[in-house]
Structure 1
């Protein structure tokens, strides 16, 4: 078996990859087939991606289900990799897995997560909890704190939310999100949409779109009906993208931040 240090410390490879061992039991399924069943995963951060991904020792992967990729997808990951197609029960998933070029990660295979590129495995678990979109970053915190701050939200000069009972969500690397009770939001100015998203820290969200004619991105408001336990206080509350609305906190108008979501909001959903 590949031997890795057990202490939690991040290493950096000559290729610019950051990685560290994880003690979590991670499993990945395609249909009912466990393609990955690993108690020795490694978290890997690529320079071009803001979130981590897992790589697994070959002996903890169903390598009998992998075939050399017929059409390797070059340029998507750091360095020169070997890509694999996955074949399960007659279904082929192109470029579902790959290896990193680093000697330090030799003997490991990484997999696409279903929520990133719409190809890969169907379900992932850390211990007995299903994880969505991408692995959780152990160096990231997400805290949901009830507050008595006075928060107002404006869109195109109209006050659409006004509350003294927000929940402030602090997430490493992102601006503070202000979750507001429904009774303090003018939901009559919005239409529910069929858009949804998943977050490994918070759960699955539903969205609303501004009904006005102004140049406002779609799906500007979201809510978690059944959030994960760690952010339970935001249940049923509504949040707005700071990047595209005006937020006033205790009389101070906040600057609109520039985040990875800024470009997404400029693209029609």
Structure 2
């Protein structure tokens, strides 16, 4: 009997996972390079959504101070908002010092024989480079895709019956394990938009700028200069349809937020 790929991957979600990479990975602290290696591995702790890098202990050029060993814990999902210091596998935290700076508990040595020679590093605590390019937010998951496709389907976006935008020349973004997002030409937006100071960064698409409507703050975003893989959405705007109504070819879509969370909980069997 055939198995759906998401189901197959979900069976391993509660386990400690790793994947080697051939990329040259460099880590800096206080302007000083503390790691320069071609032997890094991507590591997903159990129930953690995005990976981070583990580097060979032999390639770590920084002082370390070991803390007390920890046992598995944390909430059901370890999403990017959950601090690195929360671990879902047994191991030993390490404080990392270099470049005149110290990062408490920014390292972690899992109590696992496959990773006994590695230190997992907190991505947010350091500056990271893959080859000669700076990377942000978190490393890319090699099993995560972002596909942007031009579409002539009629897209209508409303807020409580008020039309915000309507187009038949959207670009639809299909991203692994996330709801489809609709990116529209700015000239097809009828709502007045006010620029916001908020920004965010996606490792797959780049830096996003935000706008507000008259009734909702930071509900619209755009990638003005996206990463190469996301160039089809350059300058287009997307609406946070978890809060808004989106009609596609006359059919109103379910709002994705709650449904997506429930779906993930059901698939991965965690609360």
If the TM-score is normalised by the length of the shorter chain, which range does it land in? Answer: 0.7 to 0.9
Q: Shift of the alpha carbon at 1:107? A: 0.9
Matched position secondary structure for 1:183: helix
Which residue pairs with 1:186 in the alignment?
A: 190
Moved more, 16-25 or 252-261: 252-261
Taking the TM superposition and a 5 Å limit, the aligned residue runs for 1:126-145 are: 126-145=130-149
Which residue pairs with 1:117 in the alignment?
A: none
Q: Shift of the alpha carbon at 1:46? A: 1.9
Q: Is 1:70–1:85's contact at 8 Å kept on the other side of the alignment? A: no
Q: Is 1:41–1:57's contact at 8 Å kept on the other side of the alignment? A: yes
Q: Does 1:61 align with 2:60?
A: yes
What is the distance in 2 between the residues matched to 1:261 and 1:59?
41
Runs in 1 of length 4+ with deviation above 3 angstroms? 69-75, 259-263
Matched position secondary structure for 1:43: strand
Which residue pairs with 2:120 in the alignment?
A: 110
Taking the TM superposition and a 5 Å limit, the aligned residue runs for 1:131-210 are: 131-188=135-192, 190-210=193-213
Which residue pairs with 1:87 in the alignment?
A: 97
What is the distance in 2 between the residues matched to 1:74 and 1:26?
28
Superimposed CA distance per residue, residues 98-145 of structure 1 (whole angstroms, 9 cap, x where no aligned partner): 11121111110011111xxxxx10x21222222211110111111111
Matched position secondary structure for 1:161: strand
Aligned Cα root-mean-square deviation (Å):
2.6
Q: Which ranges in structure 2 are unaligned for 5 or more consecutive residues?
A: 1-8, 74-85, 263-271
Scaled by the length of structure 1, the TM-score of the pair is 0.81
What is the distance in 2 between the residues matched to 1:240 and 1:204?
16
Q: Is 1:96–1:112's contact at 8 Å kept on the other side of the alignment? A: yes
Q: Which ranges in structure 1 are unaligned for 5 or more consecutive residues?
A: 1-9, 115-119, 264-269
Q: Is 2:179–2:260's contact at 8 Å kept on the other side of the alignment? A: no
Q: Shift of the alpha carbon at 1:191? A: 2.2
What is the distance in 2 between the residues matched to 1:253 and 1:32?
51
What is the distance in 2 between the residues matched to 1:178 and 1:230?
17
What is the distance in 1 between the residues matched to 2:71 and 2:219?
33
Greater RCO (Cα-Cα under 8 Å, separation 6 or more)? 2
Scaled by the length of structure 2, the TM-score of the pair is 0.81
Superimposed CA distance per residue, residues 174-224 of structure 1 (whole angstroms, 9 cap, x where no aligned partner): 011100011011341x32211111110000101112322xxx5x3211101
Q: Is 2:154–2:166's contact at 8 Å kept on the other side of the alignment? A: yes
What is the distance in 2 between the residues matched to 1:129 and 1:146?
29
Matched position secondary structure for 1:258: helix
Which residue pairs with 1:7 in the alignment?
A: none
Q: Shift of the alpha carbon at 1:72? A: 8.2
